[in-house]
Each structure stands twice: as C-alpha cells, then as structure tokens.
C-alpha cells in the first residue's frame, strides 16, 4: 500500500517483487525464489496494543513474528511447497484487501 511521501519505499518494494520473479526464472529449476511481504508484525510489546489496533485487521489481530516464521517454514519445506516459485506472499491479516477511506 502507498502513503504520501513513500516513493522510495514503493519503488524498492516494486524492485523486490520484480527481482523475485526474475530470479525464479533465471535460477529454475534448481532454486525456488519467493518473497514474503509482512504487514504489521508486532515484535516487542504485543500486550500494549489497543483493541482498535487488532480490530482494523480482518484477521482480528495484529501479526506476531511466529506468523511469518510459519509461512517461511512452509516455504522451506520442499515437499509441501516444492511447486511454488516466483510468488509474493502478503502476510498482513488481510489489511491490503480492506478498503480504507480517509475523511
């Protein structure tokens, strides 16, 4: 998602996505390349979050580091994810699918 004055972030994120699919083709079939794009992952003070922080996520809560670790663990298991390459995994509790209007 883009916010005002985040051109550098947006451009680098786009570059990372392009690099992911280009490397997936260049390194195939020996190497699988995927991208993980986390949203709000609270790493320090989860208990200090407000209820409204959790409610803004369609999943009903802010993410935890373990959420990302589970996805990465799945990607590393070639038996379970061996047919996945060139993909971007957005792990954000559904936030990028939610329409937010500013008043």
The residues that are catalytic are 9
Spatial CA neighbour of 20 closest among 91, 92, 89, 87: 87
Q: To 5 degrees, how large is the angle CA 33–CA 64–CA 4?
A: 75
């Amino acid at each position: 998602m883009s916010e005002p004055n985040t051109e550098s972030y947006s451009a680098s994120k786009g570059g990372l996505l392009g690099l992911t699919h280009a490397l997936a083709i260049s390194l195939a079939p020996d190497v699988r390349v995927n991208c993980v794009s986390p949203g709000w992952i609270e790493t320090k003070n989860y208990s200090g979050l407000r209820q409204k922080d959790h409610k803004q996520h369609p999943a009903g809560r802010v993410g935890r580091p373990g959420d990302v670790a589970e996805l990465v663990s799945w990607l590393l298991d070639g038996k379970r994810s061996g047919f996945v390459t060139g993909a971007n995994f957005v792990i954000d509790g559904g936030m990028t699918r939610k329409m937010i209007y500013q008043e």
